[in-house]
Amino acid sequence: MRPGEAAADEPHGEAYLARLRGELALLSPLFDRDRQVEQVHLINQPLAHLAATRIRDLLDTLAHHFSFAVTGAALRLVELDPLATTTGDVAALAAIGINHAAIFIGVAASNAPDDPAIRAARTLIETCRQHGIVHVHVHLSAGDGPVAETPIRAIESVMAARVDRISLHHALREPEAGADTGASTFAPGRREALFARLLEGGYRHVGLCCFALPHDELLEARRHRALHCDLLGYSAHPGSDLVGIGVGGNSHVGATLFQNPRDPASWEASIDAGRLPVWRAARLGAEDLARADVVQQLVCRGEIDFEEVARYHGIVFREHFSRALERLQPLVTRGLAEFLPHGIRATSAGERHLHLLTACFDERHGDAIGTPSPHLARFP
């Protein structure tokens, strides 16, 4: 069921909403009322169960239990599939206060100029703007099949719509030497070609293959060292906690990580018993926090300030991270990073390979350079 349609299974939709309300009621006493909600991010899972009217009820419940930001409207973002979202869906979502949209596009292997996903996405972008959802972030992935060539046409089509942000997902990034590419055929230099075209089109690289128009708040936050990266991507609110609700919801509050059960039955049973539905949890120790700080500096600033990290965490940086600096040396030789008197900085080429630089500081993955950092994925 898509938002905006009549519920195909009214009892199920009502039961799901009731349990979400129950979870919010269990969570809210744990937070002071002066903690303001800066962003509400609705992923596709709740949209599969809730019509727009029920999403409105959920937002009203959030407002009842938590304090929304008093300076400006809180960001209310919804993830949309261009092949499964109608004009009526968009109108209904805009009517209940949704003001941001994330659109996910799978680029077909043929990269044909009349790719149905691209056509549908262009229509959806215009529809969002017509109904007042003016901020659009497009995520491009490789779809279900092998990618035979650089999807420049897809990039150009999305850029022509002047969406606010464009992100390239893993399958559209050129693999590292020796990586297992499976069934995909990777064109040489894909990363460089995509980066060049996006930069030529007026976009700026935020980090981790995320691009934005020059006026975007993420770029402003990066300039002022206020950019933050978490499970939902980049944010201009570095001091915010992340609280996830529903099946599989992930949370990061202070130095604590916790996750809801991934299977609906366990989540429902916990809510029905009046218990917080926590499946697993972890408290970050001093070592985790130091490494997370280093990862954040790399992906949000493109550099590491040794003295700042050492002062905050009470360590001698070069001694504490001696093995990481050894692992980083080959990347310096490759021209992806350079040593400064008091730190490390990614070069322009290194900005395209930040995942390799962060992996050097991630002891949990041993020598598996290129594996995503658990300090960004939250749980290994």
Q: What is the CATH number of the domain that holds 349?
A: 1.10.10.920
Burial class (CB in 10 A: 0-12, 13-18, 19+), 366: exposed
Counting every residue written for the chain, the total comes to 380
Judge if 192 and 268 occupy the same domain.
no
131 contacts 94 by C-beta, under 8 angstroms: yes
Tell me, yes or no, whether 64 lies in a domain. Answer: yes
* Domain hosting residue 155, numbered range: 10-216
Cross-strand pairs, 141: 106
User: Do 168 and 138 contact (CB within 8 A), yes or no?
Assistant: no
Q: Is position 1 within any domain? A: no
If asked whether residues 191 and 306 sit together in one domain, one would say no
**Core vs surface per residue 35-69: b (16+ CB within 10 A) or e:** eebbbbbbbeebbebbbbbbbbbbbebbeebbeee
Asked, for residue 290, whether it belongs to a domain, the answer is: yes
327, 290 Cβ separation under 8 angstroms? no
Provide the number of structural domains found in the chain. Answer: 3
Same domain, 307 and 265: no
Distance (Å, whole) CA 101 – CA 121: 12
Q: Are residues 155 and 279 in the same domain?
A: no
Dist. CA 151–CA 113, nearest whole Å: 10
- Please state, in angstroms and rounded to a whole number, the distance separating the CA atoms of residues 173 and 352: 9
Can you read off the two tokens belonging to residue 324? 């990481």
Q: What is the pLDDT of residues 120-179, one digit of tens each?
A: 999 999 999 999 998 999 998 865 544 445 477 788 889 999 999 999 875 455 455 444
241 assigned to some structural domain: no
- Each of the 380 residues of the chain gets a pLDDT tens digit; together they read 233 333 345 557 889 999 999 999 999 999 988 888 888 998 865 566 678 888 999 999 999 999 886 555 678 899 998 988 999 999 999 999 999 999 998 776 545 556 788 889 999 999 999 999 989 999 988 655 444 454 777 888 899 999 999 998 754 554 554 444 443 434 456 677 888 899 999 999 999 999 999 999 999 999 999 999 988 899 998 878 999 999 999 999 989 999 999 999 999 999 999 999 999 999 999 999 999 999 999 999 999 999 999 999 999 999 999 999 999 999 999 999 999 999 999 999 999 889 899 999 987 644 333 333 444 443 33
Inside any domain, residue 265: yes
Instruction: With respect to residue 112, please indicate whether it lies within any of the assigned structural domains.
Output: yes
Q: What is the CATH number of the domain that holds 17?
A: 3.20.20
Q: For residues 24 and 65, what is the distance between their CA atoms, to the nearest angstrom? A: 7
Check whether residue 359 and residue 311 sit in a common domain.
yes
Contacts of 250 (CB under 8 A, 6+ apart): 231, 242, 244, 257, 258, 259, 260, 378, 379
- Among the candidates 283, 306, 340, a domain finishes at 283
Q: Quick one: 94 and 181 in the same domain?
A: yes
What is the spatial distance between Cα 140 and Cα 308, in angstroms, rounded to a whole number? 36
Residue 20 near residue 246 (C-beta atoms within 8 A): yes
List of E strands, 73-120? 75-80, 100-106
Domain final residue pick, 216, 242, 261: 216
Are both 205 and 99 inside the same structural domain? yes
Q: How far apart are CA 377 and CA 231, in angstroms?
A: 6
- Which tokens is 179 given? 């990586």
Pick from 265, 283, 301: which residue ends a domain?
283
Q: Is 237 contained in some domain?
A: no
79: nearest Cα among 93, 66, 92, 91 = 93
> Which tokens sit at 312?
């905050």
User: pTM of the entire structure?
Assistant: 0.85
Confirm whether 354 is domain-assigned.
yes
- Do 189 and 121 share a structural domain? yes
**Shared domain check, 205 and 316:** no
* Residues 165, 114 share a domain: yes
Is the domain of 190 the same as that of 56? yes
For the chain, give me the number of helices (H) and strands (E)? 15, 17
140: Cβ–Cβ under 8 A, 6 or more apart, which residues?
105, 107, 151, 154, 155, 158, 166, 167, 168, 169, 172
Q: State whether 319 and 177 are in the same domain.
A: no
